[in-house]
A and B are shown apart, each in its own frame.
Chain A
Amino acid sequence: MSEFSTEQVRHLAGLARIALTEDELGRLAGELGAIVDNVAIVQQAAGPDVVATSHPIPLVNVYRDDVPTETLTAEQAVAGAPEHDGSRFKVSAILGEEQ
């Protein structure tokens, strides 16, 4: 039985940048334990001699010619942003007061 503590989930949520509530942390700790128990069988499937597949159809690197093509204008690129000044994204403060 895989066990997740609330603290572990809090740490993962921090890495994933999701401000989970205490309720969510508690519920997820239980659910993740059950899910990980079920997916852990993948460890029994293959020995060390089996190679990993990351891509269903093998491809080599794909290149294109280094020529300019049509791109979005700055206005188009920022149009869907929550805050912008017409041509630039407005970002919240990067550093906190203690930094």
Chain B
Amino acid sequence: MSDLTRLTAAELSAGLTAGDFTSVDATQAHLDRIAAVDGDVHAYLHVNAAALAEAEAVDARRTAGEQLPELAGVPVAIKDVLCTIGMPSTAGSKMLEGWVPPYDATVVERMKAAGLIALGKTNMDEFAMGSSTEHSAFGPTRNPWNLERIPGGSGGGSAAAVAAFEAPFALGSDTGGSIRQPAAVTGSVGVKPTYGGVSRYGAIALASSLDQVGPVSRTVLDSALLHDVIGGHDPKDSTSLKDTWPSFAEAARAGKRDGSLKGLRVGVVKQIANGEGFQAGVTQRFSESLELLADAGAEIVEVSAPNFEYAVAAYYLILPAEASSNLAKFDSVRFGLRVAPEGGGTVEQVMAATREAGLGDEVKRRIILGTYALSAGYYDAYYGSAQKVRTLIQQDFSNAFEQADVLVSPAAPTTAFKLGEKLDDPLAMYLNDITTIPANLAGVPGIGLPMGLAPEDGLPVGIQFMAPAREDARLYTVGAALEQLLEDRWGGPLLSQAPDLAASSMLAVSDGAI
């Protein structure tokens, strides 16, 4: 049998349906791959001990002739921000180490109903605060393209898992780019849906008005297939939209048909297309991608979004403000850690000692910043002003979408930087999300996909498309179209050019490095 970990989710689904292999085969192949390479990559915080049993159950149903959902038996990884019955859900924090939730997130429930097999929980920056996964309390994830480099964040674990063939696809969450920026630096695909398009119930909240759960994968079609499973209205999330959504898989398939880009107006956002601090290889591959789109019949127009320059500043007020409130639930009483000060103390002293011991530096920094921004006397100047910036950014998007059907920019300003390089400089770290933050502030959907390797360092660079709210389908169509054009040029998927991790792991073992 060929290596099943190299297949896409769509191919796994087809093979399972045709009876070429079983879900146990597919699941075992991924568990073996995890055992072989995850010592180096550290994409997973927890591997599901019940995965093979769940796979067997799906195989039994198939053998019995039951009509199963399209993705039944296909394995999937789950970002640790999502609550899962039977598996710890820590959000990358010591505060929740070992905590097993008594309920499933809605997206997990839907994934299970679709017969998907959970491989485990993926690493992330603590409570999704970060752009490198270095803020995980359980150690960083490493980039499969270069183990000395960051995999992006906060969802570095999910991106690295798919890029290292430790899962065909994964669930992620995106508050300011946590799906799209890791996709960019690992050569994978990720989608932040329209705000409210996917349920947040059971996603451990960072900033409730910005958070959105979405798919992570190696191909645009696989993200679309997973989005079709997890999306749609959920009465348990009061911000969930009641819209009826089209099939995103069909939208992706439509993108691969001839002429799918003909007449599509693609707006290049001046302010985030090639600003200061954009790496040369990012700018180069971006221009080449625009040429490919134009050659395929798309109309490239330049659009201006003057208020995007305030986006990062507004984000780093709104996010800490909402996080300081959301994370107040970690009070040492209902779940997670409790640390009593020496000689005991009142509940307030126990709470303060618990949070001192259980939260990492970045989380403390943002909670204190948020507490400040919400303080009497500063509220209007900071939080109030930031909310006005949101209005201006939404207006920028509305104006831009009058001239363009989709907007485009690089998905991240640089390739993956070295582990530790920006850890002591929070401001430099915050600027990694300059291209992705506007979409979260406005609630519009965005997709990140690979657009090549930067010639200067051989590392992946990503492109981002954004669409008007509720028009996620456009992203899958244009994303799949560009993916096809690029793969024709590369002679196959970009990730087939990634270094062979199994070989490097074995080398490390023989060198005694582990």
Binding site for B on A (CB under 8 A): 9, 12-21, 24, 28, 31-32, 34-36, 38-43, 45-46, 50-57, 59, 62, 64, 72, 76-77, 79-83, 89, 91-96
Contacts and interface: CB of A to CB of B under 8 A. Distances in A.
Contact of A92 (B310, B334, B345, B386): B345
A41 B310 contact: yes
- List the 5 shortest-distance A-B pairs measured between CB atoms, nearest first: A56-B443, A82-B338, A52-B387, A46-B388, A53-B390
B464 to A, nearest CB: 18
B102 A54 contact: no
A60 B443 CA distance: 16
B349 to A, nearest CB: 8
Contacts of B336: 80, 82
A90 B77 CA distance: 35
Interface size class of B (residues with CB under 8 A): 35 or more
Interface stretch (B107-115, B173-181, B364-372): B364-372
10 contacts: A16-B324, A17-B348, A17-B351, A19-B341, A21-B356, A36-B369, A38-B316, A50-B388, A82-B338, A91-B347
B411 interface: no
Contact of A42 (B337, B340, B372, B382): B382
B340 A92 contact: yes
B367 A54 contact: no
Majority secondary structure, B binding face: helix
B239 interface: yes
A18 B367 contact: yes
B209 A42 contact: no
A52 B307 CA distance: 14
Contacts of A79: 100, 102
B371 A15 contact: yes
Contacts of A76: 102
Most chain A CB inside 10 Å of its own CB: which residue of B310, B334, B372: B372
Interface string B415-454: 0000000000011000000000000111110000000000
